Amino acid sequence: MGVVKKKAKIASEHAYKRMAGDLVKEIQSRRLNPGDAVPSERDLATEHKVSLMTARQALQQLASEGIVSRLPNVGSFVAPPKVQFNRLTGVLELSFKEQMLSHGYSPESRDISNTLTTSDGEVSARLALPLRSKLVRLQRLFMSSGEAFMIETSYMAESRFAGILEERMELRSLFQVLASSYGLRMSYADEEVDATSADAKTASLLGIRTGSPILRIRQVLFEASGPVVYSVTHYRSDRHAVLIRRYR
């Protein structure tokens, strides 16, 4: 009896993996496009002559891989592809505009709040400045076809960079603007990547639910003399993947 159950389990695993593979082929061949409805569990079970449980496993597998999104009481849909940002080149060479264009997207940006402020404990520590130092804060929302992708908040010393508040940033790379207009000569950048949850404001700007998981990258740009710019970027985790290459 144990052998029979084991064989049935293996057959079920093969069936749902095969079904998931068939759906992936449909998506890769563009017969199913982002936003299109995926056949229901019942339809898949009927078409492949399997149980509802097996069909459910196939859709759950694709959902866990971010290939489909499942809406309770609505159905399953082809998820938009994730944008892979290469952090090896993003700081020095490619702006958001250039990276998005390379993936076939139409990039847009909107200023959220560009203003003068004073540093709190964390920002002071990151920039090696006294507490309550005068700073420039730039906050931008980056989008494509009206869909929000990420929020970038950057801090820098007001004494050196106050004029950037008058710049037309649009889709320009912050690093490129600082290098060309303010003589920034970056030596290196430190980055910390972690996962967090979206607060109400961040969720509203990104068009996601409060508490949704998001990707956070905290970055400090250094010149030879020390830290110059501190940035915090929040990415929609359902729309981004970060490429990090390691060498032995």
Confidence of residue 8 (pLDDT cuts 50, 70, 90): very low
The span from the first CA to the last CA of the chain, in angstroms, equals: 50
Q: What is the mean pLDDT of residues 230-241?
A: 86
Residues 43-98: tens digit of each pLDDT: 888 988 888 888 888 888 888 877 887 877 788 888 776 665 555 444 444 456 56
How many whole angstroms from its chain centre is CA 145?
16
Average per-residue pLDDT in the chain? 82
Please state, in angstroms and rounded to a whole number, the distance separating the CA atoms of residues 105 and 99.
9
Q: Look at residue 10 in the predicted model and tell me its pLDDT.
A: 45
Beta bridge partners of 119: none
Q: What is the mean pLDDT of residues 115-131?
A: 94
Residues 159-183: tens digit of each pLDDT: 999 999 988 877 677 888 888 888 8
Q: In terms of pTM, does the model score above 0.75? A: no
Q: Look at residue 62 in the predicted model and tell me its pLDDT.
A: 86
Q: Strands, DSSP E only, in 24-98?
A: 37-38, 68-71, 75-78, 83-86
Map out the domains of the chain with their CATH numbers: 2-78 (1.10.10.10), 83-243 (3.40.1410.10)
Please state, in angstroms and rounded to a whole number, the distance separating the CA atoms of residues 246 and 161.
34
Q: Look at residue 245 in the predicted model and tell me its pLDDT.
A: 62
**67 secondary structure, DSSP code:** S
Q: Is the pLDDT of residue 115 over 90?
A: yes
Please state, in angstroms and rounded to a whole number, the distance separating the CA atoms of residues 18 and 60.
13
